[in-house]
Structure formats: structure tokens, C-alpha cells
């Protein structure tokens, strides 16, 4: 649905103007991009990819991304999964 809307609406979610809707959707799309399923699907979603590139190119987003710590696994979560795995 997002692909169709972006294909029809223009540069941003609600048309040619940047809106809060774009900033609301960006973290969702960004997080989805870490999933292997998303990496397989993104080539078939050119409007979504172009929108994300436009969003990430904004000076505000560049400053935000630069201020973020590197993305690494959360070790305590990894250990929790190993110790709480069901035993069959």
C-alpha cells in the first residue's frame, strides 16, 4: 500500500511537501530494513526506496544518524534468549 501511495502522491507521503507523517513512518521503515524479508522485498518497492533515500538525505536526518551509537547486538538480550529457550 505504501508503495502505491508513494508512486501516486509524489515525493512524500502526503504529496510534494514533507510532513510529520514522513517522520512518523521513517523509523518503521528503517527498522523493517534490518529484517532479511525486507531486504528481499525492497528491490520490488522502488518508490519506498526512493522515499527513504530522500528522507535520509535531509540535513536533520543526517545529524540524527550521526548522533546515534553504532548498531550492535544487545548482549544481555542474546543471553536471555539462550537461557529461556524452551526445552522439548
pLDDT at 59: 96
In this prediction, residues 26-36 reach a mean pLDDT of 87
Band of the pLDDT at 2, cuts 50, 70, 90?
A: confident
**Most confident of the ranges 8-17, 30-39, 43-52, 71-80:** 43-52
- Rounded to the nearest integer, the mean pLDDT of the chain is 87
Domain ranges in the chain are: 2-83
Residue 54 CA: distances (Å) to CA of 48, 76, 82? 10, 35, 39
Classify 2-83 by CATH class: mainly alpha
Amino acid at each position: 500500500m505504501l508503495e502505491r501511495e508513494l508512486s501516486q502522491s509524489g515525493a512524500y507521503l502526503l504529496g510534494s511537501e514533507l510532513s510529520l507523517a514522513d517522520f512518523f513512518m521513517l523509523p518503521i521503515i528503517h527498522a523493517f530494513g534490518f529484517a532479511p524479508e525486507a531486504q528481499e522485498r525492497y528491490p520490488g518497492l522502488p518508490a519506498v526506496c526512493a522515499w527513504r533515500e530522500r528522507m535520509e538525505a535531509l540535513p536533520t536526518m543526517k545529524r540524527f544518524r550521526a548522533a546515534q551509537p553504532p548498531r550492535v547486538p544487545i548482549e544481555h538480550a542474546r543471553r536471555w534468549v539462550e537461557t529461556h529457550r524452551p526445552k522439548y
